[in-house]
């Protein structure tokens, strides 16, 4: 018996075992390739969602319940934003949205969008809704909505001594436009796959009605913006007094 004959007889005798190994290797390869493709797709989807949330924003500073002068962001060629929690209701009260992010913005904010909206500024008595919030309230441009926004306070709402009366202000505004994701409608600094409820109102109006005149708690800059030389690493840090920070 030659070596060739021995090999052929061995393959014929162990044909079932060899077939099982071949099928197992094929199935395992298919699973690994599928997992790689799915992982790459998920990574791409998460990246697209992050870009939709941030637009052209490259750097941002969020101080939460600590306010700073909005002029500070303007001096840094950044967009000042006053972000406060609130709720939204339709004009007839039939629809309601909780956990609404009420954002006081000016025209510099909209320039950070991947696609700049058709409007340049929001009229004083108007509000711009993002798509999810507009769908929740069944609102369209021209409709009225009622926003209830938490007012700025020197004490946290969790403190026992804080009074609960007069801690919010109601804003009855007309919907000026509805913006999509490309127009910063999903703007958020929190990594979340669920689209937030965003309501954009004029910065000056929100500052005045919530007792935060000239203040902001968030600033955002585009990737094309360069910070002044005095703020480089070799320069002294900005002092707290210069920020004129204040709690709410």
Assess whether pLDDT exceeds 90 at residue 191.
no
227 Cβ contact list (under 8 Å, min separation 6): 76, 221
Indicate if the alpha-carbon torsion angle 151, 154, 155, 161 is positive or negative: negative
Banded pLDDT at 227 (limits 50, 70, 90):
low
Banded pLDDT at 137 (limits 50, 70, 90):
very high
Assess whether pLDDT exceeds 60 at residue 162.
no
- Can you tell me the mean pLDDT for 171-200? 91
Indicate if the alpha-carbon torsion angle 66, 128, 139, 46 is positive or negative: negative
**What pLDDT score was predicted for residue 161?**
47
**What pLDDT score was predicted for residue 248?**
42
**What pLDDT score was predicted for residue 46?**
63
Residue for token digits 């909209």?
110
Q: In what order do the strands lie in the sheet with 215-216?
A: 215-216, 66-69, 246-247
CA proximity to 132, closest of 187, 206, 86, 83: 187
Q: Please state the three-class secondary structure of 181-206 as a single string.
A: HHHCCCCCCCCCCCCCEEEEEEHHHH
Taken as a whole, the chain contains a residue count of 248
- Can you tell me the mean pLDDT for 34-38? 76
Cβ–Cβ under 8 Å, residues 178 and 141: yes
- Tokens representing 42 are 């998920």
93 or 15: whose pLDDT is higher?
93
Cβ–Cβ under 8 Å, residues 85 and 102: yes
CA proximity to 97, closest of 83, 105, 108, 85: 85
Q: What are phi and psi of 152, to 5 degrees?
A: -75, 135
Q: Taking the complete model, does pTM exceed 0.95, yes or no?
A: no
How do residues 76-109 score in pLDDT, each as one tens digit? 889 999 999 999 999 898 999 999 999 999 999 9
How do residues 164-185 score in pLDDT, each as one tens digit? 555 789 999 999 999 998 899 9
């Amino acid at each position: 018996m030659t070596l060739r004959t021995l090999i052929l007889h061995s393959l014929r005798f162990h044909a079932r075992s060899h077939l099982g190994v071949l099928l197992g290797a094929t199935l395992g390869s298919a699973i690994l390739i599928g997992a790689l493709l799915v992982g790459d797709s998920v990574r791409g989807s998460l990246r697209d969602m992050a870009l939709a949330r941030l637009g052209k924003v490259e750097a941002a500073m969020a101080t939460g319940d600590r306010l700073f002068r909005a002029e500070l962001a303007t001096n840094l060629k950044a967009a000042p934003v006053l972000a406060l929690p609130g709720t939204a209701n339709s004009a007839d009260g039939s629809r309601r949205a909780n956990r609404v992010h009420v954002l006081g913005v000016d025209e510099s904010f909209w320039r950070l969008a991947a696609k700049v909206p058709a409007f340049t500024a929001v009229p004083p008595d108007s509000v711009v809704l993002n798509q999810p919030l507009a769908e929740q309230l069944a609102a369209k441009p021209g409709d009225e909505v009622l926003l209830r926004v938490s007012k700025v306070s020197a004490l946290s709402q969790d403190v026992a001594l804080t009074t609960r009366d007069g801690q919010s202000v109601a804003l009855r505004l007309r919907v000026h436009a509805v913006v999509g994701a490309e127009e910063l409608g999903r703007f958020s600094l929190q990594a979340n796959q669920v689209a937030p409820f965003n309501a954009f109102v004029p910065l000056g109006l929100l500052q005045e009605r919530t007792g935060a005149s000239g203040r902001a708690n968030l600033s955002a800059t585009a990737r094309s913006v360069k910070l002044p030389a005095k703020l480089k690493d070799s320069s002294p840090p900005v002092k707290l007094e210069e920020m004129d920070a204040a709690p709410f």
